[in-house]
Amino acid sequence: MIPFVDLRAAHAEVAEEVLQGFDRVLRNTAFVQGPDVTAFEEEYAAFSGVPYCVGAGNGTDAIELALRACHLAPGAGAVLPANTFVATAEAVVRAGLRPVLADCDDDFLLIDPESAATAVGPDTAAILPVHLYGQQAPMAAVHALAERHSLTVVEDAAQSQGSEQAGRPPVGLAATSFYPGKNLGAYGEAGAVLTSSSELARAFRMLTSHGSEVKYQHETLGFNSRLDTLQAVVLRAKLKHLARWNELRRAAADRYESLLSDIDGVRLPRTAPGNAHVWHLYVIRVPERDRVLAGLQEAGVQAQIHYPLPVHLQPAFRHLGHGPGDFPVAEAAAREILSLPMHPHLTAGQQEQVAETLDKMLRQI
């Protein structure tokens, strides 16, 4: 069996430090907002090249509360790509805003700035570029669009921990997730925002903690979505390995490209100019994807699909009024995309087996 991710191998590298940290927390009984949370926030901010990191209970909350911290008009439109995990759109709705969908580009499957531009209307207040699969969205074009229309930019950076664009990490206001399978994954749910604004950091922190900075004094209506201290222990231990793990992902992506480039029918992923990809997912495109996926899984290759149904075709978002054909690039990609096993501990032998199995399946089509 070739696992899609190998959390056991990752844990083995940090197990001793994690156990020591758990023991420290249990002895000190600092279970909520303990010193490990503060330490992780400072360390991840430094790693990401921004002044502020504030933890949250999970990545979806992080997006929602980041939007709420910006004080956008209730019911205003927020542009996001149809090709994303549903949490991006879900968080927009939870923040009291209206999802406005845009198509993705055919080369990188990231938000298409031209499609996003046509989606902007008089009540549009925000745009949420999604840094998908491990590389950043076209942020120069996004910021140019935002400047023209006075839009707030909130980046969904859940899949891009450690990525760079033109030598710079995500800036402004970005939300991320530390779900266990992420490049930097906790042992449960966790999330955070990154920002260059002390004002936004303060507003976000209050929202995560019942709208309060001082105990029993509540400046605004808030939520309960704080980063758990035990998860902070895990994240601190793993953060020390993240840069190296990302390099191992890049090496695995290079091996895949070498192994798969001569297989007929495989469309390989590409890195956009100026991006430093961290390969959260290795997403190829193949004909008769469902048949190929079934064959891989039967052979013990745990491939997956990210994502099989664009946001506008999800039953939960029928109220947006879209149907088949409205976002053709995202729909075409959803029929073809296939995520191969990708993690820092993936071996060359495992990748060779994946390539051999994939080649065999495609020859049968």
pLDDT on residue 172: 86
* Ranges of each domain in the chain: 7-236, 242-363
Structural domain 242-363, CATH architecture = Alpha-Beta Complex (3.90)
Q: What is the pTM of this model?
A: 0.97
**pLDDT at 318 exceeding the cut of 80:** yes
- CATH class of this structure's domain 7-236: alpha beta
Q: Average pLDDT for residues 19-31, to the nearest whole number?
A: 97
Confidence of residue 365 (pLDDT cuts 50, 70, 90): confident
Whether residue 219 is predicted with pLDDT greater than 70 in this model: the reply is: yes
Task: Kindly list the distances between the CA atom of residue 298 and the CA atoms of 134, 304, 325, 356, 357, in Å, as whole numbers in the listed order.
Answer: 27, 13, 32, 14, 10
Model pLDDT for residues 109-143, shown as the tens digit of each residue: 999 999 999 999 999 999 999 999 999 999 999 99
What mean pLDDT do residues 256-280 have? 98
For the stretch 167-198, pLDDT in tens is 765 568 999 999 999 999 999 999 999 999 99
